[in-house]
Amino acid sequence: RQKLTQTISLLLCYYSHSIPREVTVRPGEDVTLQCQGPRDSTITLLEWIRPDLKSDGYVFFYRNDRPYENYQHPSFRGRVKLRDKSLLKDGDMSVILKNVTDQDSGAYECRIISSAMEGNERTYKEVRDLINLTVTHSGQLVETLKADVFNIVLLIFCLYGLNHSVLLSLINFSFQHVSFFQ
């Protein structure tokens, strides 16, 4: 039974990073696109892309400890910045997209390549994260809040290895409090 719980935990943690997070925002607002990389690593490359855009250009491109705005797709120039450069050492590669428009709806992919010394060897890791951004004029924000609460609870489960009964209690508790906002 314990082995089954550990296997389910690993699968949940794996799939929590391969399933796109749903983010909903209204036109004109700023939105944070969250992406978490490894802590205490050197960031070799950070790319934010829109896979559905057929033309060249990035949403955001960061290498050699600085962003490269000239690599950005024209529709994102001057509208995207790192959330907080001081948090890079903690692996926070989140960006802020300012003044969101209907055309910003779609899939976003964060790709991080980092390096770290492990013993006498330098190792490289690649992390990818997906976000589906919906720009809406209606009241879909409550459903998005429920999905965000579920993802936060799942992340806590992954980080702290809670048992499944605690996980179910947290999800149930969270959804009861989210429905309060409706």
Confidence of residue 38 (pLDDT cuts 50, 70, 90): confident
Confidence of residue 125 (pLDDT cuts 50, 70, 90): confident
pLDDT tens digits for range 77-106: 999 998 877 666 677 889 999 999 999 999
Q: What pLDDT sits at residue 180? A: 38
Average pLDDT over residues 140-155: 56
DSSP 8-state assignment for residue 47: E
The rounded percent of the chain whose pLDDT value lies above 90 is 30
How do 121-135 and 21-25 pair as beta strands? parallel
Q: What pLDDT sits at residue 20? A: 73
Average pLDDT over residues 41-59: 85
Q: What is the CATH number of domain 19-135?
A: 2.60.40.10
pLDDT tens digits for range 68-78: 998 999 999 99
Confidence of residue 42 (pLDDT cuts 50, 70, 90): confident
Give the residue with greater pLDDT, 123 vs 102.
102
What is the rounded CA–CA span in Å between residue 130 and residue 136? 19
Partnered with residue 134 across adjacent β-strands are: 24
Q: What pLDDT sits at residue 109? A: 93
Whether residue 49 has pLDDT greater than 60: yes
Domain assignments of the chain as residue spans, ordered by start: 19-135, 140-177
DSSP 8-state assignment for residue 20: P
Whether residue 145 has pLDDT greater than 60: no
User: What's the whole-model pTM score?
Assistant: 0.65
Give the residue with greater pLDDT, 139 vs 101.
101
Task: Compute, in degrees rounded to 10, the torsion defined by CA atoms 99, 103, 104, 105.
Answer: 130
Residue pair 111/126 in contact (Cβ under 8 Å)? The answer is yes
DSSP3 helix / strand / coil % (the chain, rounded to 5)? 35, 35, 30
